[in-house]
Structure 1
Amino acid sequence: MFEKAAEELKGLGADITTAEVMQQPELWLDTFEIYQTNKHAIESFLAEARNMGEGRLKVIFAGAGTSDYVGDTVAPYLRHASDRSLYDFASIATTDLVSAPLSFLNPDEPTLLVSFARSGNSPESLAAVEVVRSYVKNARFLNITCAPEGTLAQKAIGDNHALNLLIPRANDGGFAMTGSYTCMALLSTLVFDCAPDEQKHSWIETAANMGNEVIAREAEVMQFLLTDFNRVTYLGSAGFGGLAQEAQLKILELAHGLVATSYDTSMGYRHGPKSFVDDRTLVFVYVSNDPYTRQYDLDILNEIRADGICRKVIAIQQDAGELFAGESFTFTDYPELPEAYLALPFIMVGQTVSLLNSVRVGNTPDTPNPTGAVNRVVKGVTIHPFKA
């Protein structure tokens, strides 16, 4: 796909998504520049938010669908990479905040709502802000969005309690979120990660080089799919559990449900969900670079391979410790990356699998839903009045 001419990609209905997957390494470097340009405003805004109360500031990462999985991916990393004395991170879907606010919000707890949104026009994104604003006594709003013209960003202009961080080049035009997911994950990580900026930039450069390697090794990814399968599972630990959820959604979206998917954590999969595996299942496991956590990822890889049931079990891993000896997509000869930065090239492997699989099953990746029942921006949502 990455070497096909533009006309051929258009004929496959894949030119937009293919280009958006490929441009991500460049966008990650752009995202670092956006972070640096806005750093003073970010620091001032966060300092003011922390002054709302004593103790740690509650930070809620919120979005719907892929935007929700951004928080699921980065929150576990930031719980130990950020200043633990300042922030308490939670990832809560906007769909949960809007439908059951009393279950997730404390009106007396000063709260920073970090909204992730590609378009900023989803009804739940807008309603989550209003629910928090009306119910939480002391609240601030950080919008990380790819659409400057979107309603979420526009409504925050002139609001002293809100800050917009905009990533316009990552406003994916295809159906599935690719660069918008990775860039929002990266920018939120940069905002809260305690590492020096020089170190962050070095990690991003490494991640970008690894992302470009995914593009160059497309044929290797294609080899995973040259078999008879109709099910795919993704597994991972900590933030890679969120990454697994996003990877399986890309399969589901781009193949329009023609390939069944599941996801779980590496340890959690044994507790029932492993029943999904049959002789036409591919299992991918994102392997952590944390040496303790890595043991559990390798355990499930070796266990599933020894079961001898699934079609293939494949590790996505960096050469930074013990490696899975079976089939794998392995990054070698790079400095070891922390979880939130390693997630960037890791998900590009999953995105490439999804893109290739969509074409394999005869679908069009740019417009995978022929009935229009599922839309790029969610429609048909009724937001009911909330009174505490």
Structure 2
Amino acid sequence: MGFVKSLYEEEIKGAKHTVKEIHQQPELWLQTVGTIEKQKVAIQNFITQKIFAKQARIIFTGAGTSAYVGDTLTPQLRKALPYQIDSISTTDIVTNPLNYFKAEVPTVLVSFARSGNSPESLATYTLANKLINNISQIIITCNPEGQLAKEAGKDENTFLLLMPEDSNDQGFAMTSSFSCMYLSALLIFQLDRLEELKRKIEVVSKNADRILTQQYKSIKNLVSLNKKRVVYLGSSTLKGLAQEASLKHLELTSGKIPTFHESVLGFRHGPKSLIDDETLIFVFISNDPYTRKYEIDLLQELKKDGGSKTVVAVANTNEKEIAEICDSAFLIPEQENIYLEDHLIALNYLIVGQLFALFNSIHLGVTPDNPSPTGMVNRVVKGVNIYNFKK
């Protein structure tokens, strides 16, 4: 049971859902692969007709964590597919739809939604149908009873892809919902690699099990440092992951500890100013040897800078140099003859970020399942007015 047993032994209250939902991810990833396998023909037919045949633009969209699914996906799929691919949040589209939608450009809008009831997600679905002449949509959601799923069922130009039932997280923060939606999109747009990706995801799932049952204590120990601000850094796909890890920590600690994210190279261009002795910095290390050179340079620079900040490298490489130039190195062991690209190892790094956020939440006396009991922020956003848009 690993960290789950540890938390229950400590009689932690208010963490039941979040603990379960982090812990269930390795199994849910395998279920997600199974879901895609079962619907492979239908998915392939839809994508062939709506994207390949029309050379369509692909837009990934969502709000908050659901938007970060697209941000994390986009670098890999831009490399894998010969189409224009953009990640644009619903919160941007709704306020300025004509800045993002082009009426004359065939488009497939891919919406990510845990509940499918966010006002901006529903508005974006409607605006796309209204403003784009040749529009098809893919709804990837965890809630079959959500309004977005119901709307999809009425439209032959919309494909509804439901995630495993347990991915509809009941805790405040999106954990397994993020990872399952992310994984499903990786798969449906790379169906020609499905068998290869399946084998690699099995390795990623085993890695995650190891983190959750054996390695979690080294993450938990970081909490005792009592740092007052946390920074997450990554390159390309791992920058998207850094964004999600930053939000997860901010949410689960109820904003008690400010968080920040940036690209590895971008950090030097001003944001590095926020470092003080009370700062904890996570650097998500790329598996690409070329990219990793830049990350090692930054680790060396941070070490040379001195001070009492703490730098943690999260890596899937055994390079000794990394451990020598940071305060702590969290290593996900390499597997013989299996190379995990950044878009796959990101799932393991995600677990590290989720666990640290959970442990720090508990350490600070926050209830992870409901970190904002006053209702200032909510599991499904409230208080958003949607206005009729006229061309």
Coarse TM-score class (shorter-chain normalised): over 0.9
TM-score (norm 1): 0.95
Q: Which residue is equivalent to 1:370? A: 373
Q: Which residue is equivalent to 1:382? A: 385
Choose from 255, 262, 265 the match for 1:264.
262
Please state how far the C-alpha of 1:88 moved relative to its aligned partner. Answer: 1.8
CA distance in 2, matches of 1:39, 1:229: 46
Q: Which residue is equivalent to 1:211? A: 208
Give per-residue Cα distances to partners, 1:135-156, cap 9 Å, x unaligned: 0100000000000110001111
TM-score (norm 2): 0.94
Letter in 2 for 1:264: E
Q: Which residue is equivalent to 1:147? A: 143
CA distance in 2, matches of 1:330, 1:123: 40
Please state how far the C-alpha of 1:241 moved relative to its aligned partner. Answer: 0.6
Contact 1:316–1:346 at 8 Å: present in 2 too?
A: yes
Contact 1:67–1:181 at 8 Å: present in 2 too?
A: yes
CA separation of 1:310 and 1:137: change in aligned 2, threshold 3 A = farther
RMSD (CA atoms) = 1.5
Q: Which residue is equivalent to 1:43? A: 44
CA distance in 2, matches of 1:8, 1:279: 30
Choose from 2, 5, 11 the match for 1:3.
5
Please state how far the C-alpha of 1:196 moved relative to its aligned partner. Answer: 2.4
Contact 2:173–2:248 at 8 Å: present in 1 too?
A: yes
Contact 1:83–1:194 at 8 Å: present in 2 too?
A: no
Secondary structure of the equivalent of 2:339? coil
Instruction: Tell me how many residue pairs correspond in the alignment.
Output: 382
CA distance in 2, matches of 1:260, 1:6: 28
Matches of residues 22-171 of structure 1 in structure 2 within 5 Å? 22-50=23-51, 53=54, 56-80=55-79, 82-84=80-82, 87-167=83-163, 168-171=165-168
1:188 aligns with 2:185: yes
CA distance in 1, matches of 2:76, 2:51: 20
Contact 1:17–1:366 at 8 Å: present in 2 too?
A: yes
Please state how far the C-alpha of 1:38 moved relative to its aligned partner. Answer: 1.1
Structure 2: 5+ residue stretches without partners: none
Give per-residue Cα distances to partners, 1:189-211, cap 9 Å, x unaligned: 00112652221111110110111
Matches of residues 336-347 of structure 1 in structure 2 within 5 Å? 336-347=339-350
More off after superposition, 354-363 vs 186-195: 186-195
Contact 1:237–1:266 at 8 Å: present in 2 too?
A: yes
Give per-residue Cα distances to partners, 1:362-382, cap 9 Å, x unaligned: 111111012111000001101
Letter in 2 for 1:200: L
Contact 2:314–2:330 at 8 Å: present in 1 too?
A: yes
Give per-residue Cα distances to partners, 1:159-202, cap 9 Å, x unaligned: 11000000122100000000000000000000112652221111
CA separation of 1:309 and 1:101: change in aligned 2, threshold 3 A = farther
Letter in 2 for 1:221: I
Contact 2:318–2:331 at 8 Å: present in 1 too?
A: no
Q: Which residue is equivalent to 2:280? A: 282
Letter in 2 for 1:39: K
Please state how far the C-alpha of 1:323 moved relative to its aligned partner. Answer: 5.0
Structure 1: 5+ residue stretches without partners: none
Secondary structure of the equivalent of 1:314? strand
Secondary structure of the equivalent of 2:231? strand
Q: Which residue is equivalent to 1:236? A: 234
CA distance in 2, matches of 1:193, 1:306: 42
Q: Which residue is equivalent to 2:224? A: 226
CA distance in 2, matches of 1:377, 1:109: 32
Please state how far the C-alpha of 1:47 moved relative to its aligned partner. Answer: 1.5
Please state how far the C-alpha of 1:294 moved relative to its aligned partner. Answer: 1.1
Secondary structure of the equivalent of 1:196? helix
Q: Which residue is equivalent to 2:315? A: 317
Secondary structure of the equivalent of 1:144? strand
CA separation of 1:322 and 1:384: change in aligned 2, threshold 3 A = farther
Q: Which residue is equivalent to 2:18? A: 17
